Amino acid sequence: MKKASLLLLAALALAAQTPADGPQYNADGTLQLPANYREWVYLSSGLGMTYGPAASADTRNPAFDNVFVNPSSYRAFVKTGHWPDKTMFVLEVRNATEHGSINNGGHFQSDIRAIEAEVKDEKRFPRKWAFFGFGKKDAGTMNPATSSCNQCHGANAAVENTFVQFYPTLLEIARAKGTLNAAYLQKSAQDTPAAH
């Protein structure tokens, strides 16, 4: 009876450490694309953002970037201004279309161009954060630690390794909680024009 109780407690402790909406991996180390990521918390969309491997050089048809984060991590960020272990972002890159149906101006989203993910898993990754590309598959391959994603996020992220500067509601939370990276604050101060 004691042994069964200890096993149950250990299983419950392990389950408490890994949220149900956290990252799931295949036996070969690839990341599983959550089937319901579009039901996660939507953070923002960018149009024509030109950083990263899925950037478009076609200024007439810029890509839309839609960013989603797992709900448990979003709730933790709102409370603390920090991303907990097992945070997972999904970046859905979609083509932009000008002409279609009754549209006479502007752009709307169409086919998926790429899906990428950023994951915080402190025990699995030496740098705590890792990036994955899915292409047209449901299993994401991890980018090398020396990838442009890792380097760019490491140098420019507003909070930890994430581009919170592009998520207006979360940027305000990070300011209020005092969790903005020092390098980001310094760069922001340099980029802000002086008042005359």
Query: For residue 36, what pLDDT band results from cuts at 50, 70 and 90?
Result: very high
DSSP letter for 162, please: B
Cα radius of gyration (the chain): 19
Residue 87 lies in a domain: yes
Q: What six digits make up the tokens of 85?
A: 């272990």
Residue 187 lies in a domain: no
Is the Cβ–Cβ distance between 83 and 57 less than 8 Å? no
Highest mean pLDDT among 16-20, 109-113, 126-130 belongs to 126-130
Residue 37 lies in a domain: yes
Residue-wise pLDDT for 55-97, tens only, equals 555 666 688 899 999 999 999 999 999 999 999 999 998 877 7
Which pLDDT value is given to residue 35? 92
Residue 14 lies in a domain: no
Residue 95 lies in a domain: yes
Domains: count for the chain: 1
For residue 115, list its beta bridge partners: 92
Residue 164 lies in a domain: no
Which pLDDT value is given to residue 8? 46
**Domain limits for position 91:** 20-144
Residue-wise pLDDT for 125-173, tens only, equals 999 999 999 976 788 988 888 888 888 898 889 999 999 999 999 999 9
Measured CA to CA, the distance from residue 106 to residue 62 in angstroms comes to 11
Which pLDDT value is given to residue 57? 57
Residue 165 lies in a domain: no
From the list 68, 76, 88, the residue with the least C-alpha distance to 24 is 88
